Amino acid sequence: MDLSTPPPDLYGRPRADTFFRFLTAFGDRYTPALGGPLLRRNPRRPYSRPTQALQLVVTARRQVAADVVELTLADPSGGPLPAWQPGAHLRLTLPSGRERHYSLCGDPADPADPAERSGYRIAVRRLPDGGGGSVEIHDTLHPGTRLAARRPRNGFAFCAEPAVLLLAGGIGITPLLPMVREAMRNGLDWHLVHTGRSADTLPFAAELRALDPARVHLRADDEHGGPPTGAELLAHAPRGAAVYCCGPAPMLTAVQRALDASPAVSLHFERFGAAPVTDGEPFAVRLGADGPELPVPADRSALDVLREARPDLPYSCAQGFCGTCEVRLLAGTPDHRDRRLTPERRAAGALLPCVSRAAAGETLVLDL
Ligand code: FES
């Protein structure tokens, strides 16, 4: 395997996630009911579960890179917010109804603001070709805007091993910022590598440099002839280090491939957007019993194909754990690849087209 080849695009995908699908499913199942009647209004979302909502208001907004804004979200009455730990994320419901997940990038143990409970901080890169969530945030969220969220959840927990290497691809710095501060507080042997297309696209660059210039390594692709290889990303790993990586799929793939040859011993990661399709076969989806049939190539998701015909089809994680893209299956035999639906819900016809597929030549008829 050629480890010297840089991944093709480290910064091209919208935000998303990882391993917290089990926690998400558990939390959703056992959080108190809130929206039954509301959820039932949408006939295309028959399996939506009750949620516990927080009401938040934007209290501050600042530019932290060329196309990245940081927002502070607080309780409208100034009350404390639920506590969180480094690596946690917030699921926001935007004014349009879109749901998006964003890592918390503040400091939950800030001595000036214990548990940072007076405001959550998130940072969002504007992605004109994304699903619309980041553009909506950039264009419409300003101090005073109210929006709903769920309590923070954490599927990317920081274990504070004695030696850690933190690897951030672009906006992937957000969950790692609180980890850096936690590492400093605990006297760990830590290094951070923060990469981006150019210096002006690196969020929080000045803030990071000020933390510890000897341990923070900022790397702009345009100054190095392209994105880093996995070996380059891991070059700052202390011996025996645990690696925490947040970035797009090609970056994670490069790091996974180079890990065995590095001084690091373990890898924790959080991914942006969808993972590449593996073991995919070409199949088809039909929009309703009499609707058009759309071919799904072996290397694309059904959600991608469906959204070309139905751009308003909701989605969020694109990884099969949030449930936002759920549709009802009318006919056909699916290959469920999600981490969210129970066997009972699958048997009742629920399908998550962001990851689920079908055998070669199969047609899945969807209630769309
Ligand atoms: S978009 Fe999250 S499960 Fe499909």
What is the span of the domain harbouring residue 251? 163-272
Between the CA of 356 and the centroid of ligand 1 the distance, in Å, is 10
Instruction: Point out the domain boundary residue: 103, 129, 154.
Output: 154
Tokens representing 62? Answer: 């600042």
Predicted local distance difference test score (pLDDT) of residue 316: 74
**Statement to judge: residues 196 and 168 lie in one domain:** yes
The total number of structural domains in the chain stands at: 3
pTM of the shown model: 0.71
The reply to whether 51 falls in a domain is yes
What is the SS3 assignment for 296? strand
**Statement to judge: residues 61 and 171 lie in one domain:** no
**Statement to judge: residues 72 and 128 lie in one domain:** yes
Predicted local distance difference test score (pLDDT) of residue 314: 81
d(CA 278, CA 257): 16
Locus of tokens 């090609």: 250
Q: Where are the beta strands (DSSP E) in the chain?
A: 53-65, 68-74, 88-93, 99-103, 120-125, 146-150, 153-154, 163-169, 189-196, 216-220, 242-248, 266-272, 283-287, 293-296, 327-331, 334-335, 350-351, 357-358, 363-366
pLDDT in tens, the chain (368 residues): 333 333 333 333 333 444 434 434 333 333 333 332 222 223 333 333 444 689 999 999 999 999 999 999 999 998 889 999 999 999 899 999 888 889 999 998 876 665 556 799 999 999 987 778 999 999 999 999 999 999 998 878 899 999 999 999 999 999 999 999 999 999 999 999 999 999 999 999 999 999 999 999 999 999 999 999 999 999 999 999 999 999 888 898 899 999 999 999 999 988 766 777 888 999 999 999 999 999 999 999 999 999 889 888 887 778 887 788 999 999 999 999 998 899 999 999 999 999 999 999 999 999 99
**Statement to judge: residues 337 and 263 lie in one domain:** no
Specify the CATH number for the domain of residue 330.
3.10.20.30
Q: How many residues are given for the chain?
A: 368
Ligand 1 proximal residues by C-beta, below 6 Å: 315-318, 320-325, 338, 352, 354
Mutate which of 44, 322, 327, 337 for ligand 1 pocket (most atoms within 8 A of beta carbon): 322
Tokens representing 75? Answer: 């309780």
Count Cβ atoms within 10 A of the Cβ of residue 204 and give its class: 0-12 exposed, 13-18 middle, 19 or more buried. Answer: buried
d(CA 52, CA 149): 8
Between the CA of 35 and the centroid of ligand 1 the distance, in Å, is 20
**Statement to judge: residues 36 and 137 lie in one domain:** yes
Instruction: Point out the domain boundary residue: 105, 137, 154.
Output: 154
**Statement to judge: residues 67 and 106 lie in one domain:** yes
